[in-house]
Amino acid sequence: MSPRRIIVFLPCHTLDDFPYWLDEAEADAVLSAWTAAWHPRLLGAVGEVPRWASVDLPPPDDVPVVGIVPAPFDDRFATQADAVAAGPSTWIRGLEGSPRLTAAALEAVGMTDGSVPVAGAEEDFRALGLAVLLTELLARRMRSSLTLETTGFEAAAVSAARAAVEGRADDMRHAIAECFGCLESARAQYYPVDVWLLDIVLLAESTLGRGLAVELEAESPIGLVATGDLVRVLAERHPETLGRLREACAAGRVSPCGGRDDQRPIDGCTPEGLVASFARGATAWREHLGVVPTTFAQYAGGSSAVLPQILQGLGYAGAIWSLFDGTRLPDPSASRIRWAGTGGGLIDAVGRPPLDARSAQTVLSLAEKLGDAMDHDHTVVLQFARHAGTASPWHDLLRRMAALSSVCGRFVTPDDLF
């Protein structure tokens, strides 16, 4: 008998007790299992979107299913699964990574070819699956529930999947847009306010080549943190990448973030010395990239109450209230703040500490982070940070999801935000 349902077994009893605290390997396994189930050929074959069940409860035996169990939780599943192990269902256990899980699930529904003729379709469906999970979790975090059953979401998802398999690209994109529209409408019921996401990319001498090139290939809005010194090194060693960065800055996809020429500790500099460092940094950006930063950010160097006055005087529009070398600044517990300094200096700033874009755990716990911000802020802004070229595959999928829908926020450049 052919499977009629796809179930992913999650390590919780209800989504209200979803374990945001999972370690990196466990978070990766859960995301892999869930997104693997959203392959368009699987959705088209069973005619349903994937469901979830608790890994701690007996699997259902009413219909044949394909059950996907995240590998780290197989022992918990095995405790309850023996009673139905001989039934018509197929349990996919002990496998890691979305490609292997998807291949096993396709085999379980009688398919050996997982290719899809529409370019990018598989990643779009994985992004849709991620959006469903995060939106479900966010609804629970905001003391609500997601009511997709009455929106036509499932019919649109299956229609999109079958269109993708048949090579009807326009029909697929239209149906996927309808799916995301359902999710956005559901989210608007409990938080109808825009959410802004910042992607902060840190440059270092070791990431000026391929690492930076990878970021520019993604064509996603980013804020690029670099000193004037690093800009000169980039121009000298990687002129081709410099040219591509110049184009991205001109197109508005990249916001230069920085200002200073170096990273010397601020507490060892006079105000005049800081202003001179900003002038040298602006010269480097202008000469090599045709732009100057209007968002202040720095990797290291500490902070000072004199900075808002200097930044305001130099025409900066905003600042990133974070350092990225491990130095902690006071946490204002707000997405956006007014940074007040000496001499009446005042400038807008992003206040919440950045999330680690290298981590699967960051993406799995995004609903919790968004919920905390929604509870306390009038304007929700979250920022992610990492060195160039080091983003996790899950962060890349999050960026793809945000390009398709604003259900969990839109990525914008810091210049656009301020």
Mean per-residue pLDDT, 60-77: 89
User: How much is the pLDDT for 86?
Assistant: 53
User: How much is the pLDDT for 153?
Assistant: 95
Contacts of 174 (CB under 8 A, 6+ apart): none
pLDDT digits (tens, 9 = 90+) for 333-368: 899 999 999 988 999 999 999 999 999 999 999 999
- Closest to 34 measured CA to CA, from 63, 78, 69: 69
Q: Which pLDDT band holds residue 64 (cuts at 50, 70, 90)?
A: confident
Count of alpha carbons within 13 angstroms of residue 332, beta-carbon side: 17
CA dist 376 and 374 (Å) reads 6
User: Can you name the residues that pair with 225 across neighbouring β-strands?
Assistant: 202, 257
Mean per-residue pLDDT, 186-194: 84
What are the structure tokens assigned to 202, written together? 């840190």
- Closest to 322 measured CA to CA, from 277, 376, 385, 270: 385
- pLDDT exceeds cutoff 70 at 201: yes
Mean per-residue pLDDT, 247-258: 95
Pick 238 or 57 by higher pLDDT.
Answer: 238
User: How much is the pLDDT for 191?
Assistant: 81
Query: How far from 275 is each of 278, 313, 341, CA to CA, in Å?
Result: 5, 10, 16
The answer to whether 208 touches 238, Cβ cutoff 8 Å, is yes
Return the percentage of the chain with pLDDT > 70, whole number: 98
User: How much is the pLDDT for 87?
Assistant: 65
- pLDDT exceeds cutoff 80 at 128: yes
Q: Which pLDDT band holds residue 78 (cuts at 50, 70, 90)?
A: confident
Contacts of 382 (CB under 8 A, 6+ apart): 195, 196, 197, 198, 335, 352, 355, 366, 369, 370, 373, 409
Contacts of 236 (CB under 8 A, 6+ apart): none
Write the DSSP assignment of 372-400 as a string of letters. Answer: HHHHH-SSEEEEEEEETT---HHHHHHHH
User: C-alpha 153: how far from its chain's center?
Assistant: 23
What are the structure tokens assigned to 87, written together? 């039934």
Mean per-residue pLDDT, 69-77: 94
Element holding 318 (H helix, E strand): strand 318-320
Mean per-residue pLDDT, 212-238: 95
- pLDDT exceeds cutoff 90 at 326: no
Give the three-state DSSP class for 239. Answer: helix
- pLDDT exceeds cutoff 80 at 324: yes
Mean pLDDT of the chain: 93
- pLDDT exceeds cutoff 60 at 62: yes
User: How much is the pLDDT for 277?
Assistant: 95
Return the percentage of the chain with pLDDT > 90, whole number: 80
Compute the chain's Rg from CA coordinates.
24
User: C-alpha 268: how far from its chain's center?
Assistant: 37
Query: pTM of the predicted model, to two decimals?
Result: 0.95
User: How much is the pLDDT for 80?
Assistant: 76
The answer to whether 340 touches 309, Cβ cutoff 8 Å, is no
User: How much is the pLDDT for 84?
Assistant: 57
- pLDDT exceeds cutoff 80 at 61: no
Mean per-residue pLDDT, 108-136: 94
pLDDT digits (tens, 9 = 90+) for 286-297: 999 999 999 999
Q: Which pLDDT band holds residue 151 (cuts at 50, 70, 90)?
A: confident
CA dist 277 and 262 (Å) reads 7
Pick 151 or 350 by higher pLDDT.
Answer: 350
User: How much is the pLDDT for 406?
Assistant: 94
User: How much is the pLDDT for 83?
Assistant: 60
- pLDDT exceeds cutoff 70 at 22: yes
